[in-house]
Structure 1
Amino acid sequence: MDALIATAARALAAGDPLGALDRVALRDDAPALALRGIAMAQLGDFVRAKALLRDAARGFGAKEAVARARCVVAEAEIALASRDLAWPAKALDAATATLDAHGDRVNAAHARYLAARRLLLIGRIDEAERRLAALDPRLFPSALRAAHELVVAGVALRRLRSRAAHAALARAARAAREAGIPALRAEVDNALLALRKPAARVIARGEQRLVLLDEVEKLLASNEAEQPAHPMQPTQRTLIVDACRYAIHDVNATVMLASRPVLFALARLLAEAWPDDVPRDTLIARTFRAKRADESHRARLRVEIGRLRAALGTLAGVGATQRGFVLEPRHAGEVVVLAPPVDGEHAAVLAFLADGESWSSSALALVLGASQRTVQRALDSLAAAGKVQPVGDGRARRWMTPPAAGFATALLLPAPFHS
């Protein structure tokens, strides 16, 4: 490695892409192309960065397997930053194996963190956690330790473990300060800021208030046994209708209704009105989206109410009143609805776009588990409402929106429910 390449590499490691480009901008050998690609990625020109890295990978000879593998890892990082989630993960695994075989532990670890971040983003949290468990961050430089703690914090956020998330981000902040990379420190600061923003709404007895993530954690995992002093401060003896995870649970049991949206919609309406009942026409209008209720709608409502009674089992009953139906918890003295801070038909799409990155419709379809056409219709609807905007055309089109002011979106992102 010549002196200019070494100096440019040190500049990139310190988060100075312009300083790196000053040294290699006029060179077209493979090492210089690779460094130029990484510099362009740090400056946000992902298309140019990807092209330069591919040129560099082709330029390295057959005996330079490590250099080619590093190019693959850099391209994978660009794909993650540009939300190109369809980028072949097997290529990253192969590059990781090559780096391991040649003793490049630091870049191999970096590749593993990229894989874990991708898994976290698409909701495969258990697998991301297993990958993290195989790594010892104490063996790596400060920048990589910060990356490790950011992924740990991401897992904790999806698990609704606010204390663990705070601890991981505190460690990430220390490592980022040691690394002295401004962009890394900014990423940690943004993650810390999200923990200080409202993460959900608690609705009880006709009132609602915004709550932070640690309050959500206390609501879902409280071990207190006494009755609540106030309905907006529930305890373990509370029936929780979780509109973030599509689940209903109390201290004794949990019922998942993610695959039964009509039943969950009915349960949520009944829970929001508790202890009052909900008129039949209101249930029909808001669940079946019928402007005028007729006898067929009333018959369907009776069928769905029967199914809801069976699904709730020992958690609650649904009683009939003169004008409608009322929720009857069996073991809880209070009923609370835990709702996303931003609600609506396309809240899940907005949650992903709220990270400020540009997303393709195919990437959104992957993480949401929906068809690309369904996601495209949602994006068109949001664009018509002025909530999102397209960038680019054709296959290069991406969608983005500024972060939702004042709200964290961790509860809208995919994660398994833990009672």
Structure 2
Amino acid sequence: MDSLITAAARALASGDALGALKRVALRDDAPALALRGIAMAQLGDLVRAKALLKSAARAFGPREAVARARCVVAEAEIALVSRDLTWPPKALDAAAKVLEAHGDRVNAAHAGNIAIRRLVLIGRLDEAERALGRLDPTPLPPPLRAAHELVAAGIAVRRLRTEAARAALDRAGFAARQAGMPVLTAEVETAARVLDLPAARLVSRGDERPLRLAEVEALFSSTLVVDACRHVVRADGAVVPLASRPVLFALARALAEAWPGDVARGVLIARAFRGKHADESHRARLRVEIGRLRAELAGLAEVLATKRGFALLPRGSGEIAVLAPLVEGPHAAVLAFLADGEAWSSSALSIALGASPRTVQRALESLAGEDKVQAIGRGRARRWMSPPLSGFPTILLLPGPLPSD
């Protein structure tokens, strides 16, 4: 490797993308193309970066398997940052194996970090946690060690383990300062702010107030919670999922919001069945659904009949509360992803949400009609984005189970 390539690589390692480009901008050999691609990625031109890395991978000879694998890893990271979730993860896994077999443990670990970040993004937290446990961060240089700790913090935040998240962010901040890269330090600081922002609303005894993540974690340990972020009912570590039974969840939420009082039958019918006028068929259906709700909540709470309607009573002497998103609506989950400020394709949102492409497309069109999101590009290059909303509850709306799920 010649001196210009070596100097450009060192510049990139320290975060000096412009310094690297000054040394290799006019060269078209494979190593220069690869370094130019990484530099363009650091400068934010992801389309050009991807094209350069593809050219570099083709230009490397058959005996340069490690160099080609490094190009694949860089391309995978660009795909992740640009939210191209259709990029094949098997290619990244194959590249990591090549790097590991040739003794490049640092880049192999970097490939593992990228794979874990993708799993976290689409809510596969169990797989991500197992993969993170198998990854040894000891040989990693400070920039990659910071990235590793950011992944650990992301998993802990999704699991509502706020103390573990804060500890991981402290380690990430230390590694970022060691690396001397202001961009990385800023990324850690941005991630740490999530812990201090409002994440949800607590509705209890007729009042409501915002909660931070640590307060949400504490709430789950002491209260029967009707969780409108995940559409479950939680108490004492037990979880009753009601996401696929919207009528039962609507009844549970209405009863929890009114606790310790009761709710009139007409109000329950309006909330659960969206009926403006209650007739005998509505009242009969309400009795059936209340019976089903009693069966689902057996052991956690009782549903008692009163003169005018029904009331929810927790087992023991605990309290009842509703945990609601700060922003609610039919497309809140889509907005939660777009609130990170990145540009998403509709196919990537479909993968992350586990919804059909057409459902996501309809949601995006509806939000665009309300000027909440905007489209950039056309055809397959079209991306959707929204400016970050202050205090938007992205964490609790994103997919992935909590510890007791």
Q: Once the two structures are superposed, what CA deviation does each residue of 1:16-37 show, in whole Å capped at 9, x if it has no partner?
A: 2121111111111111111111
CA–CA distance in 2 between the matches of 1:252 and 1:66? 48
How is 1:63-78 mapped onto 2 (pairs within 5 angstroms)?
A: 63-78=63-78
C-alpha displacement of 1:166 = 0.5
CA–CA distance in 2 between the matches of 1:253 and 1:349? 28
Residue identity opposite 2:93 in structure 1: D
Q: 227, 237, 249: which one pairs with 2:234?
A: 249
Aligned to 2:384: 399
CA–CA distance in 2 between the matches of 1:412 and 1:70? 35
CA–CA distance in 2 between the matches of 1:66 and 1:154? 30
Moved more, 65-74 or 123-132: 123-132
Residue identity opposite 2:384 in structure 1: W
Aligned to 1:150: 150
CA–CA distance in 1 between the matches of 2:198 and 2:338? 17
CA–CA distance in 2 between the matches of 1:57 and 1:251? 54
Conserved in 2, the CA contact under 8 Å of 1:239 and 1:332?
no
User: TM-score, structure 2 length as denominator?
Assistant: 0.96
Aligned to 1:187: 187
How is 1:63-102 mapped onto 2 (pairs within 5 angstroms)?
A: 63-102=63-102
Q: 276, 287, 309: which one pairs with 1:302?
A: 287
Moved more, 248-257 or 72-81: 248-257
Q: 370, 373, 380: which one pairs with 2:365?
A: 380
Conserved in 2, the CA contact under 8 Å of 1:275 and 1:326?
yes
Q: 321, 335, 338: which one pairs with 1:336?
A: 321
C-alpha displacement of 1:284 = 2.6
C-alpha displacement of 1:322 = 3.4
C-alpha displacement of 1:294 = 4.0
Q: 1:293 to 1:393 in 2, by over 3 A?
A: farther
How is 1:130-149 mapped onto 2 (pairs within 5 angstroms)?
A: 130-149=130-149
Matched, 1:277 2:267: no
C-alpha displacement of 1:408 = 4.4
C-alpha displacement of 1:38 = 1.0
Residue identity opposite 2:76 in structure 1: A
Conserved in 1, the CA contact under 8 Å of 2:199 and 2:391?
no
CA–CA distance in 1 between the matches of 2:342 and 2:199? 20
Conserved in 1, the CA contact under 8 Å of 2:142 and 2:178?
yes
Q: Once the two structures are superposed, what CA deviation does each residue of 1:310-364 show, in whole Å capped at 9, x if it has no partner?
A: 1111212222333332212232432111122222221111111111111111111
Aligned to 1:348: 333
Q: 1:75 to 1:252 in 2, by over 3 A?
A: closer
CA–CA distance in 1 between the matches of 2:237 and 2:137? 39
Conserved in 1, the CA contact under 8 Å of 2:8 and 2:23?
yes
CA–CA distance in 2 between the matches of 1:115 and 1:320? 52
List alignment gaps of at least 5 residues for structure 1.
Answer: 222-235
List alignment gaps of at least 5 residues for structure 2.
Answer: none
RMSD of the alignment, in Å? 1.5
Conserved in 2, the CA contact under 8 Å of 1:33 and 1:56?
yes
Aligned to 1:370: 355
Q: Once the two structures are superposed, what CA deviation does each residue of 1:199-229 show, in whole Å capped at 9, x if it has no partner?
A: 11111011011111111111123xxxxxxxx
Conserved in 2, the CA contact under 8 Å of 1:194 and 1:407?
no
Residue identity opposite 1:290 in structure 2: G
Matched, 1:239 2:224: yes
User: TM-score, structure 1 length as denominator?
Assistant: 0.93
CA–CA distance in 2 between the matches of 1:299 and 1:9? 73
Aligned to 1:212: 212
Conserved in 1, the CA contact under 8 Å of 2:327 and 2:393?
no
Conserved in 2, the CA contact under 8 Å of 1:73 and 1:111?
yes
Conserved in 2, the CA contact under 8 Å of 1:195 and 1:408?
no
- Identical pairs, percent: 71
Residue identity opposite 1:144 in structure 2: L
What is the aligned residue count? 404
Conserved in 1, the CA contact under 8 Å of 2:177 and 2:185?
yes
Q: Once the two structures are superposed, what CA deviation does each residue of 1:21-69 show, in whole Å capped at 9, x if it has no partner?
A: 1111111111111111111111111111111111110000000000100
CA–CA distance in 2 between the matches of 1:174 and 1:270? 47
Q: Once the two structures are superposed, what CA deviation does each residue of 1:228-256 show, in whole Å capped at 9, x if it has no partner?
A: xxxxxxxx3x3211222222122273322
Aligned to 1:26: 26
Matched, 1:202 2:202: yes
Aligned to 1:224: none
Moved more, 300-309 or 46-55: 300-309
CA–CA distance in 1 between the matches of 2:191 and 2:234? 29
CA–CA distance in 2 between the matches of 1:198 and 1:107? 37
Conserved in 1, the CA contact under 8 Å of 2:149 and 2:168?
yes
Conserved in 1, the CA contact under 8 Å of 2:325 and 2:393?
no
Conserved in 2, the CA contact under 8 Å of 1:143 and 1:175?
yes
